[in-house]
Every structure is written in structure tokens, then in C-alpha cells.
Amino acid sequence: MVKGRVVISRAGRDKDKALTVLWADERSVLVADGKERLLERPKRKNVRHVRKTGVVLPDDALRTNRSLRKALRSFVSSQEDGGPRNGTGGN
């Protein structure tokens, strides 16, 4: 996992939501979405509870909560419009 990678939550109250990785090690990641999980208070999640996508956001999208929300919104809308799935669809 790299900083800026968009992931989809697979477990917890945020299940099926798009989040961005802020920090990662081999067992856990810190994620934020800019709305419910702000950059100032990221959520620690087990790596088994997130699904990687092929999208990595640029550093300038991670500067403010507003820019993060905007970047994630465009990612979600591209997925809904039939864009490349990168493992985010399914049952």
C-alpha cells in the first residue's frame, strides 16, 4: 500500500466506502475520506478489511479535507459511470 491509494472498505461502519491511504505498514493502514474521517483524525484499519484499487491520488489531493472529498467524489462517479472497475465491483 502506498500513500494516496484509493481503497474500498470491506468491513465496519464504513463498509463499501471509498477511502484514501495516508500511512501503511504490513498489518494496518490509516485511512481518511475528508468527511466522516478527516485528515486530522484518520481511521486505523486492518489491511484485510480494505480492498485496493488501481487509483493513486496525487499529493495535492491530500492537502485538505475539501480536496480529498473532491478527488474521491470524482473516483466514485467514474466507477458509477462504468469506468474501469479495478476490483471494486462484485457481489
pLDDT in tens, 12-26: 999 999 999 999 999
Whether pLDDT at 91 is above 50: no
pLDDT for position 23:
97
CB neighbours of residue 50 within 10 Å: 24
Radius of gyration of the chain (CA): 12
User: Cα–Cα distance between 91 and 78 in angstroms, integer?
Assistant: 19
How many Å apart are CA 36 and CA 41, to the nearest integer?
Answer: 9
What residue ranges define each of the domains in the chain, with the CATH number in brackets? Answer: 5-80 (2.30.30.30)
Residue-wise pLDDT tens digits, 62-89: 999 999 999 999 998 888 776 655 554 4
